Amino acid sequence: MSTRDTMELKEETIRAQYEAALGMVLGFDHAPRLAKALVQAQVAERSPGIGTRPTFRSTVPGMATRSTARPGGVRLAERVEGLGDGLVTPVQAAVLNALRRGLAIALAMGETFSAQSGLAELKKANLEGRVPEPKRGEFGELLQGEALVVLFTFANALAYLIAPHVGPGTVELGEVEEVLTDNAPLALQGALWELDQDIGALATDDVKLVAVVSAFAEALMKKVQIRAENGARVSVFTGASWKVEADGLTIAGFKPAKAAKGGMIAMAFKKPHEVVGNHIAKYQSLRLSKMLMAYDFERRLNPFAELGGFIFTFMGDGKPGTGKTTLIQMMAGLLNDYCKVAGYPFRYQNFSIDQIDSYQGKSGQNAKAFIDAVLDPSVIGFGTIDDIDQVAGKRGDRQSSAGQQEVTAVFMQAFAGAGTVVRGNCTFGMFSNYPENVDDALRQRAGARFLVDGPQSREDYIDILSLLLGKNHAIPVGDHELFAAQEIKKAVTASFEGYSKPHEEGLLKVWDKVQGEIGKLDTLAKMGAYLKAIQQADERFTGRAIKNITDAVKVRAMDFELPDAWMEEPDLFLFRPYDEKLAMIRGLMTPISVEMVIQEINRYADSEFRYADKSDEVAIAAMVRDFGRTEEAKRRYLEGKG
C-alpha cells in the first residue's frame, strides 16, 4: 500500500489564476470536435456603446485549437444568469463562484504538475524552437498528462464545491464526449463548452441547474479516470496529494473528493456507552453503521447488500423513555464520525408529523422528497421516521387523515415496491412507542426488529443513574464496576440466547404444541412446520415475514465486527476496490446454524404477537370505556328524569 505526501496548494497560487478562470466563465469561442451541439451558442446582444464582456484567450502560446467545425460562443455566466428574471439568485451566484474557483484550482494544479514533471521546461524550449527530436514524444505525452490532470481537478473541485447546494433531484446526462487532451487550455474549453450545452438543454430552474452541474462534474471525472488508466504520464499527480486549506479539499490523484451534501447535521450525538441497556438494538446499530461504510461509490453497491446481510429497513419499538432517541443519536454520531475520517458525504434526515400537510398530495410529496434524499447513491444516508404510528396512517382507519394515508402509500412503495433497489448506501429506521397502531403491511416492510426496552438489570439502573448525574458530585459508586454490564458482546450473546424459547404467551403456546408433536426443531422440515403453526395462529404471518426472518439470519451469519482500525484507517478497507472488499467480508462470514434460525424466528414472531396482543388489548380497553360511558350516561339520564 503506497503512502502519499500531502502538500499545500497555496491560496496565492490559486488566486493568481482567478483572472484567467473568470475569463473562461465570461466567454470564449470553441469549435466542438467530438460532441454535437444541443443548443445554439450564446450570442451577446448589446446596445451601441455598451461594452461586451471580455473573451478568454489561451495563455499558452503555440497551443492553438484545431477547429473541425464553426466556432461558437461559450458564455457560461450569461447562460446561468439567463435562468432567472433579471437578477442573479444566490444559487446561480454559488454556481458561478464554484465554476471560477474550480477552474482556478485546476489551472494552479496544472501549473504545479508542469513544474514538477519537467513540462514547464519543455514548453519554454518549444517556444524557442529548440525541443530536441527525442524529446518531442515525451513533450506530447506530458501535454496530454497535464490536460487530464487539469480536467480531473476541475471536475473534482467543482463537484466538491457544489455539493452543499445539491438537492434530492437528479438528471441523466449520459457520457461526456468533448474530452480533448491536446493541452490543458483546450481541454478546459471543451469541457466548459459541453457543460454550457447541458445547462442550456436541461436546466430550467435553480434546482435543475445545480443537478446538471453536479452530474456533469461526476461524469467528467469518470471519463477522465478511464482515459488516465491508459498509460498517461501522470505519476507526479498520482504519487502525491495536495490540500486546499480554504475549502478543505484534498486532491489525491484521480480519486474523487467527497463533500457533504445539504449542510451539517444539528444533533447532540451520543457515544455507545451512553446507551444503557438495549443490548441487541445497540449491537445491531453498531454493526449496521459499519456495514453502511462498506458501500462502494464507484460500483454504487455494498458488498453486504450483494451477500444478503444488509439491513435496509428496521423498526425500533419500546415504551416511552426507553432510549429510542438516544439510539438514533448514537447511530447518527457513529456514521458522522466514520464519514469524516473517510471523507464520505453523510446525510441524515428525519420525517416527522410536521411534514403532514392539509393540502392534497403535499404530504406524499414531502415523503417522496425525504425518501429520495436518503436514497441518493452519492451519499451515505440515514433516514428516521420517529413516531411512525402518528406519521403514517392505517389503511381503513377513519381517524387517519388523507395526508397520513399518502405517506403510508409512499413508504410502502419505497421500502418494498416493484422498483425498490437496495444499493446498501442507506438505511431507514422506523420508531414507535405504539407499533400496534402502524399499518400491518408497512410494519412488515421493516426487515429487522430492534426491541428498545431500556435498562433492565440492577447494573443497568446503576449505570444510567451514574451517567445522568454527571461528574459534579463526590458520591461513591459502591460495590459496582461502572458500565461493565454494557460490554456489548457478552450482553448480546445472553440476549440472543434468551430467544431460544419465545417470550410472548401466545407464541409460547404454539412453540410447546409444535415441540410436543414433532420434537426438537433441528431440521428445515420441523422449522417449516413451526412457521406454518405460527401462521395458523396469526394470519398476518406471511411470506414477507419469512423473508425478514431469513434476512435477519443472514445478518447473524455475518456476526462479526468490522475492525475499528478499518474505520480509522480507510486505506485498510474503505478505499479498497469493490471486489477486494467483498472477498474480505466473505472471509469473516460464519455458517448459519439451527440456533440462529430458531432465535430469529422467535424474535420476529415475538414482536408480531406482541403487537397483535397490544392492538387487541387497546381495542378491548377502548370498547370497555365506551360501554362504561354509555351505561353511566343512561344512569344519569334516568336519575334526571326521576
Query: DSSP readout, 112-134?
Result: HHHHHHTHHHHHHHHHTT---HH
Q: At what angle do helices 119-127 and 90-117 cross, to 10 degrees?
A: 80
Lowest mean pLDDT across 70-74, 137-141, 236-240, 637-641: 70-74
Give the residue from 512, 388, 514, 375 showing the smallest Cα distance to 446.
388
Q: What is the pTM of this model?
A: 0.56
| CA atoms of 305 and 422, how far apart (whole Å) | 7
Q: Is the pLDDT of residue 52 over 50?
A: no
Q: So what's the pLDDT on residue 56? A: 46
DSSP state for residue 400 in the 8-state scheme? S
Sheet holding 5-8, edge to edge: 5-8, 240-244, 249-251
Burial class (CB in 10 A: 0-12, 13-18, 19+), 357: middle
What is the DSSP track for 468-481? HH-SS------S--
Q: Is the pLDDT of residue 130 over 80?
A: no
pLDDT in tens, 194-225: 999 999 888 888 888 988 999 899 889 989 98
For 319, residues 6+ apart whose C-beta sits below 8 A from its C-beta are 433, 453, 454
Mean pLDDT, residues 181-189: 91
Give the helix ranges, DSSP H, for 128-268.
133-162, 184-202, 206-228, 235-238
DSSP state for residue 574 in the 8-state scheme? T
Q: So what's the pLDDT on residue 423? A: 92
Mean pLDDT, residues 10-28: 93
Q: So what's the pLDDT on residue 111? A: 92
Helix or strand run (H / E) with residue 489: helix 488-497
Q: At what angle do helices 90-117 and 133-162 cross, to 10 degrees?
A: 150
- Which regions of the chain carry the CATH code 3.40.50.300? 272-621
**Phi/psi of residue 245, nearest 5 degrees:** -60, -40
Mean pLDDT, residues 299-314: 88
Q: So what's the pLDDT on residue 261? A: 55
Q: What does the block give as the cell for 130?
A: 529548440
Q: Which residues of 161-193 are buried (b: 16+ CB within 10 A; e: fewer)?
A: bbbbbbbbebbebeebebbbbbbbbbbbbbbbb
Task: Give the SS3 label for residue 548.
Answer: helix
Q: Are strands 72-74 and 28-30 parallel, antiparallel or unpaired?
A: antiparallel
Helix or strand run (H / E) with residue 405: helix 402-416
pLDDT in tens, 435-487: 878 888 888 888 887 777 777 778 878 887 887 787 888 888 888 877 666 65
Instruction: Give the 3-state secondary structure percentages of the chain, helix then strand then coil, rounded to 5.
Output: 55, 10, 35
How far from each other are the two terminal CA atoms of the chain, in whole angstroms?
Answer: 95
DSSP state for residue 5 in the 8-state scheme? E
User: pLDDT over 70 for what percent of the chain?
Assistant: 85
**Amino acid in the structure at residue 423:** R
pLDDT in tens, 535-577: 998 887 888 888 888 887 887 777 666 788 888 888 888 889 9
Q: So what's the pLDDT on residue 377? A: 87
Q: Is the pLDDT of residue 406 over 50?
A: yes
pLDDT band at 51 (very low <50, low <70, confident <90, very high): very low
Q: Is the pLDDT of residue 420 over 90?
A: no
Q: So what's the pLDDT on residue 13? A: 93
Q: Is the dihedral of CA 560, 564, 568, 573 positive or negative?
A: negative
Q: So what's the pLDDT on residue 54? A: 46
pLDDT band at 91 (very low <50, low <70, confident <90, very high): confident
How far is C-alpha 94 from the chain's CA centre? 23
Q: What does the block give as the cell for 570?
A: 480507510
Look up the CATH number of domain 272-621. 3.40.50.300
